[in-house]
Amino acid sequence: MINYQAIRVIYKYEMLRAWYTLLQTLAAPVISTSLYFVVFGAAIGSRIQEVEGVSYGVFIVPGLVMLSLLTQSIANASFGIFFPKFTGTIYEVMSAPLSFFEIVVGYVGAAASKSLILGLVILLTANLFVDLHIAHPLIMLLFLVLTCISFALFGFIIGLWATNFEKLQLIPMLVITPLVFLGGSFYSVNMLPPAWQTVTLFNPVLYLISGFRWSFFEVADVSVGISLAMISLFLLVCLALVWWMFKTGYRLKQ
Amino acid sequence: MQPIVKIQSLSKVYQGGQQALKAIDLDINEGEILALLGPNGAGKTTLISIICGIVSGSSGSISVAGHDIVSDYRVTRGLIGLVPQELTLGAFDTVWNTVNFSRGLFGKKPNPAYLEQLLKDLSLWDKRDSELRALSGGMKRRVLIAKALSHEPRILFLDEPTAGVDVELRQDMWRLVRRMNDSGVTIILTTHYIEEAEEIADRVGIINGGELLLVDDKHRLMRKLGKKVLQIELKHSIDELPAALADYNLEATEDGRHLVYTYDTDRERTGITALLQTLNELGLSLKDIKTSQSSLEEIFVKLVSSR
């Protein structure tokens, strides 16, 4: 039997928390994305002309959306579970008749919903700067949803693992940000020297951005099927990890 | 009658190797108020945390209303409400939101009427829209109680409920505890204040160093371990104890005005009648008589120090 009421209240109050901090959760990413458009799209992009037959200002849109989506999914979900751990209010969740399933659906579902909304808002913002056409809207939406869920899960894992605020920031700052920047957010991999092209293939974020970009322009660094497979694989790995953490009570139960 | 909570040889060793509980056996009866008494670090919170599912036990088993707390945790946890020792509350939620959250977390459908009455009972209704961080310590304690009761539990655990609480809230709380108890809720509270256990509990369990030293009915416990003292004030002082009184466990005070008789209430014969008769025969007139009983505190100190 599933505790639907618990999923409902966790989801509701996590969404409500975003509402209290609306400026931080929505306005900040939108403003920073707009800045990227001004700097990369307008100032530098006017000198670059076209990449793979797409004007540079338009070319960077999928990468920019992914950049925000990844960082915000992780930040939302990691903070959502870390904060109750930090204040001690997690005792209530631990003593409630819940399985890991309800806890994950509630917290990760809310974090993923928030970043999905954010992604759509950024797309709308981008539309103000450039003329955007989406070749495969459904596949684009699929990539958005899968990315939000898997990286919210990943953030949830970080939030469970972190024992202080420093650790909470560590992986997003030291791992995720470099991977996103080197994953082709602002360029096509074909623009790199051949040796670096090979190195880039080991960056999982490349597959995400490439597949997502394909849904817009039908231009990709790797085939879209591989992209989908990679994101699904990442999702499964994160799920397995969360399941293991709850099974063993890792960092939750003594 | 089947106990509502049954704990069988429960042990807990923390990761650092610290043994918090040593083979605890305890039956908690439905509808009673049980006080777990013990000094800080005795294992009271660990015991409660294991029953509620926050900490895993190392060995042994616990059942709640006949259901195992591990395999049947959804049933057992739904029956239990917990008021933790620390004032652990979110900062930005309102009182109303946080009690609704708690109720939902335990799988109960929304019931604004019940929660309204609950907040009124706890004098929180006026504060329902206040943010939690704006509340005083006493108010936060009330919110924690409201959260624990939000899903209408059958068993309520109160971990050190009166730590840092003023007299008024303390009395409010005991009133509420009694009312909950009257409606059939089983209540388990931990405390290191003996007066509290003495005041409110039906049964008292004494924990020290991870061991449950004894559990007994409060009155029987005091009878069993408590000596009663009869103080007799004489009209005229005596120089020494008359020979006829030598057989009694009797002492005269230095001024010769008082006689102190120690006896066991548990014995068939207390010897009071005989003593009074002898005093009468000796022609000693009495001015006043007073009896007193050792408190739980004395019992507790005796038990803990004898280990």
Mean pLDDT value across residues B168-192: 90
Question: Is B53's CB within 8 Å of A89's CB?
Answer: no
- Whether the per-residue pLDDT at A197 is higher than 70: the answer is yes
Q: What is the pLDDT of residues A115-124, one digit of tens each?
A: 999 999 999 8
Chain A residues whose CB is inside 8 A of the B86 CB are 88
Q: How confident is the model at residue B163 (pLDDT cuts 50, 70, 90)?
A: confident
Nearest Cα residue in chain A from B148: A92
pLDDT, position B144: 94
Provide, rounded to the nearest whole percent, the portion of chain B with pLDDT above 90: 49
Picking from B88, B107, B109, the nearest residue to A91 by CB comes out as B88
pLDDT, position B111: 96
Alpha carbons within 13 angstroms on the beta-carbon side of residue B191 total 26
DSSP string, B59-78: EEEEEETTEETTTTHHHHHH
pLDDT, position B226: 67
Q: How confident is the model at residue B219 (pLDDT cuts 50, 70, 90)?
A: confident
Mean pLDDT value across residues B101-128: 94
Question: Is A254's CB within 8 Å of B14's CB?
Answer: yes
- Whether the per-residue pLDDT at B249 is higher than 90: the answer is no
**What is the overall mean pLDDT for chain B?**
88
Mean pLDDT value across residues A18-46: 81
Q: Is B304 on the interface with A (CB under 8 A)?
A: no
Provide, rounded to the nearest whole percent, the portion of chain B with pLDDT above 70: 98
pLDDT, position B165: 79
User: Could you tell me the end-to-end alpha-carbon distance of chain A, in angstroms, rounded to an integer?
Assistant: 26
The more confidently predicted of residues A150 and B214 is A150
User: Looking at the domain that runs over B226-296, which CATH code has it been given?
Assistant: 3.30.70
- Whether the per-residue pLDDT at B122 is higher than 80: the answer is yes
Picking from A6, A8, A89, the nearest residue to B88 by CB comes out as A89
DSSP string, A204-253: HHHHHHHHHHHHHHS--SS-HHHHHHHHHHHHHHHHHHHHHHHHHTTTT-
Q: How far, in Å, CA of A120 to CA of A211, rounded? A: 17
The CA distance from B181 to the nearest CA of chain A, in Å, is 22
Mean pLDDT value across residues A192-196: 86
Q: Is A95 on the interface with B (CB under 8 A)?
A: yes
pTM of the predicted model, to two decimals? 0.84
- Residue whose C-alpha is closest to residue B101's, from A13, A125, A76, A197: A13
Question: By the 8 A CB rule, do A15 and A114 touch?
Answer: yes
Q: What is the pLDDT of residues A166-185, one digit of tens each?
A: 999 988 888 888 888 888 88
Q: Is A89 on the interface with B (CB under 8 A)?
A: yes
Q: What is the pLDDT of residues B13-36, one digit of tens each?
A: 998 888 999 999 999 999 999 999
Within chain B, all domains assigned CATH 3.40.50.300 are found at 5-222
Chain B residues whose CB is inside 8 A of the A8 CB are 104
- Whether the per-residue pLDDT at A249 is higher than 80: the answer is no
Question: Is A89's CB within 8 Å of B90's CB?
Answer: yes
Within chain B, all domains assigned CATH 3.30.70 are found at 226-296
Q: Which two tokens stand for residue B165?
A: 């609480």
- Whether the per-residue pLDDT at B268 is higher than 80: the answer is no
Give the distance, in angstroms, between the CA of residue A234 and the centroid of all CA atoms in the same chain: 12
pLDDT, position B272: 85
Interface test with B, best of A8, A9, A253 (most B CBs within 10 A): A9
Mean pLDDT value across residues B269-280: 84
pLDDT, position A213: 92
Could you name the CATH architecture of B5-222? 3-Layer(aba) Sandwich (3.40)
Domain ranges of chain A: 4-248
Q: How far, in Å, CA of B119 to CA of A46, rounded? A: 63
Nearest Cα residue in chain A from B157: A95
Q: What is the pLDDT of residues B34-48, one digit of tens each?
A: 999 888 888 999 999
Mean pLDDT value across residues A85-99: 92
The CA distance from A7 to the nearest CA of chain B, in Å, is 8
**What is the overall mean pLDDT for chain A?**
88
Give the distance, in angstroms, between the CA of residue B207 and the centroid of all CA atoms in the same chain: 11
Q: How confident is the model at residue B306 (pLDDT cuts 50, 70, 90)?
A: low
Picking from B14, B53, B104, the nearest residue to A5 by CB comes out as B104
- Whether the per-residue pLDDT at A142 is higher than 70: the answer is yes
Q: Is A247 on the interface with B (CB under 8 A)?
A: no
